[in-house]
Chains A and B, each alone.
Chain A
Amino acid sequence: MLKDVTLGQFFPGNSFLHKADPRIKLVVLVVYMVFVLLAQNALSLALVLGVTLALAFISRIRFSVVMRSLKPVIFILMFTGLINLFFTTGETPLVEWWIFKIYPEGILTAIFMMIRLVCLVAGSSLLLSYTTSPLALTDAIESLFGPLRKIGVPVHEFAMMMTIALRFIPTLIEETDKIISAQKARGADFEDGGLLKKAKALIPVLIPLFVSAFRRADELAEAMECRCYRGGEGRTKLKVMKSRGVDYLFLLLMIGLCVAVPFINHYLSFTLGVFAL
């Protein structure tokens, strides 16, 4: 049952996004977020939507999979939409009912807000979690935050912890499954009863799981020492991250888009103003 849970949503592939240097992808992601948040009006948002669709296209990940990334945020999406719909005021209300007034501006803001959120979530999934293996991501974080080591931040240790956590997730899931089965075979009941009873029923699963996790940690530490691990000092890497010219081009393009957005915002509001006149 627990085995069905997929952790880390990496979809191996061979697209441009998959091959790009993860460090640059991280930076691109930051720029992309600014880009999305800066977009203010129809034209700039259309651009944001276009860029996100382009990302989805070059990643060669199926569209349905991209849509699935929105599932966890559906509630926030609806909530933001409704808040904006009801609480944005304008000049003439379109509909009036009891204390609610809906203005055309409200509808527009709600739609804008939702597009922004959808692009933010889908775009970061495409740039990072779908196309970057967890290990590459860890390496990228270690490398990007490396300078922080000078002020005493244990960057390497955090990265190593992440690597080990990722390595042990499948092992611990399997173990949890086994312990649940073993306790069920001894008559444990995880389904019936109220919340308190259910929580209590978990004790026979959690204690063995913790005991085993600590034992594993101990043994792993010994094994790592035996393989001459003594921290990040002087450590080299089998896989060196390499950034190609196209990666930088990709970053430049994203920065360019980001810079262009305020102009588009301004230009379009101006033409709209002329149109309104």
Chain B
Amino acid sequence: MSFIDIKNLTFFYEGSDLPVLNDVNLSFEKGSYTAVLGHNGSGKSTLAKLICGILQPSAGKITVAGLPTDDEESLWKLREKCGMIFQNPDNQLVAGVVEEDVAFAPENLGYKREVIRKRVDEALATVSMTEYAHHATSKLSGGQKQRIAIAGVLAMGPDCIIFDEATAMLDPTGRREIIAAMKKLNREKNITVITITHYMAEAIEADRVVVLDHGRILMDGTPREIFSEVEALKSVSLSVPQVTDLLHLLTKDGHPFPQGVLHTMEAAEELEKVLPKNTFVATAKEQKLREEKPAALEVKNVSVVYGEGTPFRKEALKDISVAFPKGEVIGIIGHTGSGKSTLATLLNGLRNPTSGEILLDGKNIRENPKEMRKIRSRVGLVFQYPEYQLFEETVRKDIAYGPGNMNLSEDEITRRVEDAARFCGLSEGDLRRSPFELSGGQKRRAAIAGVIAMEPEVLVLDEPAAGLDPKGREEIFDGLMAYKDRLGATLLLISHSMEEVAKYADRILVLNRGQVYLYGTVEEVFGQAEKLFDASLDLPQITKLFIELKKRSLCAETDVYTIGYAKKQLERMLEC
């Protein structure tokens, strides 16, 4: 018998006749490392909750280490063996101080004080958080909070840990921390790891990948086997790593390559076998003609200082000056704490700069404080996780809240609400529903529509697609681009994803430690790979592949940022 055994599992939520999980048979061996992939709503989180006995199956049976989940008595024993890490780091920490939180589980299990002490210390050491033992949990970063949550589960002495989208709300640094922790737990402590995710980077680290779709198991195999099936994955709105996709597309067009290549180096080696050396053709570059556009929004010598005169004084922005040209998409990148979010709240006057000024169409936005609300409707700001701002009875009323604050006529408000809903892909039926009934992705789109309905000329978005699956991300961006094109608006896009910025932005602003680190066109910024790495930032995987190819003198240029362009370049090279 396997460590976790799932037999003919079917699950319905109360009052719904659509099964979330439909006759699933699955088993996990002890000490294995599995990624469960699936789009939002595929039933993957429900599966995790069923394994831990938080939910009970409608039909079928689950046993963990031989213990059934439907037996009240053995359930506690089971939970001790099989811990779970949840998505939101804030909602799973119980105590205000790190070590007391880690001690929570062993305290519940009634261990002696010395045993608890030992387990807490060991668990904190395993996740490298020993020095934070006496810190307040509220002061930690997202990645650190998740590591404390892992320590809290480790202190129970489990054989298995299930990560339920545990990296979805983290920044890239935090995500790397947690992936490293998973690997360590599996390899060094021989703990069975099941990670539920839609991040490919997380899935390729696992030994086995299970793909769920509409409550059924669609695929089950090694990462290489699974990622060879590019078409099948795309059909269930999942994505594959860029190099995998590239080699797949080339194969499809008559240049056979092995499938399921996951890493940059591996792809470079495969290409090296077929590409002629040192015979690259100088290609006529598609020079995008760029006329000088007037600035929609200009930031002039702006500094922001927090906690002036206290020991906590911090310079969030140091004398930055940037102009954002009208009608362009500007990607803003930089790691957490670089000043991106501070900059966003400055642009619509939610926060005052300590010095300097912000010019909208050449006019200082603080010129007339009474006009501030007007400014806010002209510079729209969508915060991270905007779905938490929904409050009205219906989606329609919620979207109308912004325009309703602008002294517009009823007809104009209705028109704007309907336009905004269309851009964001919400149907007439969705508008009549309560925002709290919508799915996660729909909620996000309703919240964005609420800002778009004000028809701002500059739209600032802080990670608008964070935590969504690949298809959900694409839908959001398509809507935003349509809005931009129709109204000639300027889009400022704060993002952690280099692939996303490469795909949608015209220009990139890189912030580092509160200063403008780089600012220019996509080519200009991504052309300075070394400088980006210095600021612990990354490049799109496809660009890294071309840098590697250049190192092996297989090609001359490295300004390749999208898969489509990469494919064109490689085809040209392969055909000569």
Q: Are B100 and A185 in contact (CB under 8 A)?
A: no
Q: Is B409 on the interface with A (CB-CB < 8 A)? A: no
Q: Is B345 on the interface with A (CB-CB < 8 A)? A: yes
Q: In the complex, how many residue pairs between chain A and chain B have their CB atoms under 8 Å apart? A: 154
The minimal Cβ–Cβ distance linking B408 to chain A, given in whole angstroms, is 11
Partner of B111, one of A182, A183, A236: A236
Per the 8 Å Cβ criterion, residues 32-84 of A in contact with B are none
Per the 8 Å Cβ criterion, residues 350-408 of B in contact with A are 350, 373, 376-377, 380-383, 386, 388-391, 401-402, 405-406
Max count, chain B CB within 10 A of own CB: residue among A163, A222, A234, A238: A238
Partner of B96, one of A134, A224, A237: A134
Contact with A along B114-153 (1 / 0, CB 8 A): 0011001000000000000000111000000000010011
Contacts A222-B54, A228-B105: A167 and B83 contacting too (C-beta < 8 A)? no
What is the interface residue range for chain B against chain A?
Answer: 35 or more
Q: Are A181 and B383 in contact (CB under 8 A)?
A: yes
Chain B positions within 8 Å of A178 at CB level: 383, 388
Q: Are B95 and A167 in contact (CB under 8 A)?
A: yes
The minimal Cβ–Cβ distance linking B362 to chain A, given in whole angstroms, is 22
Chain B positions within 8 Å of A240 at CB level: 113
Q: Is A179 on the interface with B (CB-CB < 8 A)? A: yes
Q: Are B105 and A227 in contact (CB under 8 A)?
A: yes
Chain B positions within 8 Å of A235 at CB level: 107-108, 110
Partner of B86, one of A179, A186, A222, A229: A222
Q: Is B180 on the interface with A (CB-CB < 8 A)? A: no
- Complex Cα distance A239/B88, Å? 27
The minimal Cβ–Cβ distance linking B398 to chain A, given in whole angstroms, is 9
Max count, chain A CB within 10 A of own CB: residue among B83, B92, B120, B390: B92
- Complex Cα distance A174/B540, Å? 33
Q: Are A220 and B92 in contact (CB under 8 A)?
A: yes
Contacts A181-B383, A184-B376: A225 and B96 contacting too (C-beta < 8 A)? no
Q: Are A167 and B93 in contact (CB under 8 A)?
A: yes
- Complex Cα distance A225/B296, Å? 52
- Complex Cα distance A219/B84, Å? 12
Q: Are B389 and A236 in contact (CB under 8 A)?
A: no
- Complex Cα distance A148/B106, Å? 26
Looking across the interface, which residue of chain A has its beta carbon closest to that of B345?
A181
Partner of B454, one of A179, A187, A207, A237: A187
Q: Are A185 and B376 in contact (CB under 8 A)?
A: yes
Q: Are B391 and A185 in contact (CB under 8 A)?
A: no
The minimal Cβ–Cβ distance linking B50 to chain A, given in whole angstroms, is 12
Contacts A228-B79, A235-B107: A187 and B402 contacting too (C-beta < 8 A)? yes
Partner of A238, one of B107, B136, B149: B107
Partner of A185, one of B52, B107, B348: B348
Q: Are B138 and A171 in contact (CB under 8 A)?
A: yes
Contacts A186-B401, A189-B405, A238-B120: A208 and B108 contacting too (C-beta < 8 A)? no
Chain A positions within 8 Å of B86 at CB level: 219, 222-223
Q: Is B80 on the interface with A (CB-CB < 8 A)? A: yes
Q: Is B302 on the interface with A (CB-CB < 8 A)? A: no
Q: Is A150 on the interface with B (CB-CB < 8 A)? A: no
Looking across the interface, which residue of chain B has its beta carbon closest to that of A160?
B94
Chain A positions within 8 Å of B412 at CB level: none
Q: Is A166 on the interface with B (CB-CB < 8 A)? A: yes
Chain B positions within 8 Å of A234 at CB level: 110
Q: Is A2 on the interface with B (CB-CB < 8 A)? A: no
Contacts A222-B86, A229-B104: A163 and B76 contacting too (C-beta < 8 A)? no
Chain A positions within 8 Å of B477 at CB level: none
Q: Are B107 and A182 in contact (CB under 8 A)?
A: no
The minimal Cβ–Cβ distance linking A256 to chain B, given in whole angstroms, is 34
Looking across the interface, which residue of chain A has its beta carbon closest to that of B116?
A238
- Complex Cα distance A164/B105, Å? 15
Q: Are A187 and B111 in contact (CB under 8 A)?
A: no
Contact with B along A211-227 (1 / 0, CB 8 A): 11001100110111111
Q: Is B38 on the interface with A (CB-CB < 8 A)? A: no
The minimal Cβ–Cβ distance linking B403 to chain A, given in whole angstroms, is 8
- Complex Cα distance A175/B111, Å? 36
Contacts A135-B95, A171-B90: A227 and B391 contacting too (C-beta < 8 A)? no
Contact with A along B410-446 (1 / 0, CB 8 A): 0000000000000000000000000010000000000
Partner of A186, one of B109, B137, B454: B454
Q: Is A262 on the interface with B (CB-CB < 8 A)? A: no
Chain A positions within 8 Å of B111 at CB level: 236
Per the 8 Å Cβ criterion, residues 322-351 of B in contact with A are 345, 348, 350
Looking across the interface, which residue of chain B has its beta carbon closest to that of A171?
B90
Q: Are B88 and A166 in contact (CB under 8 A)?
A: no
Q: Are A189 and B390 in contact (CB under 8 A)?
A: no
Q: Is B250 on the interface with A (CB-CB < 8 A)? A: no
- Complex Cα distance A211/B437, Å? 12
Q: Is B450 on the interface with A (CB-CB < 8 A)? A: yes
- Complex Cα distance A238/B401, Å? 50
Q: Are A227 and B113 in contact (CB under 8 A)?
A: no
Q: Are A170 and B95 in contact (CB under 8 A)?
A: no
Q: Are A186 and B450 in contact (CB under 8 A)?
A: yes
The minimal Cβ–Cβ distance linking A11 to chain B, given in whole angstroms, is 14
Chain B positions within 8 Å of A239 at CB level: 100
Contacts A167-B93, A212-B388: A185 and B116 contacting too (C-beta < 8 A)? no
The minimal Cβ–Cβ distance linking B498 to chain A, given in whole angstroms, is 26
Partner of A227, one of B117, B152, B345: B152
Q: Is B112 on the interface with A (CB-CB < 8 A)? A: yes
Contact with A along B42-83 (1 / 0, CB 8 A): 000000010010100000000000000000000010011001
Chain B positions within 8 Å of A216 at CB level: 88, 90-91
Chain B: residues with CB nearer than 8 A to chain A? 49, 52, 54, 76, 79-80, 83-84, 86, 88, 90-97, 99-100, 103-113, 116-117, 120, 136-138, 149, 152-153, 156, 345, 348, 350, 373, 376-377, 380-383, 386, 388-391, 401-402, 405-406, 436, 450-451, 454
A/B interface sample: 7 pairs, CB < 8 A? A186-B401, A187-B401, A211-B391, A222-B54, A224-B94, A224-B104, A238-B99
4 A-B pairs closest in CB distance: A187-B405, A223-B92, A238-B103, A207-B391
Chain A: residues with CB nearer than 8 A to chain B? 134-135, 163-164, 166-167, 170-171, 175, 178-179, 181-189, 203-204, 207-208, 211-212, 215-216, 219-220, 222-230, 234-240
Given A185-B350, A219-B91; 8 other pairs, CB 8 A cutoff: A171-B90, A184-B350, A185-B348, A185-B376, A187-B405, A204-B391, A222-B54, A227-B153
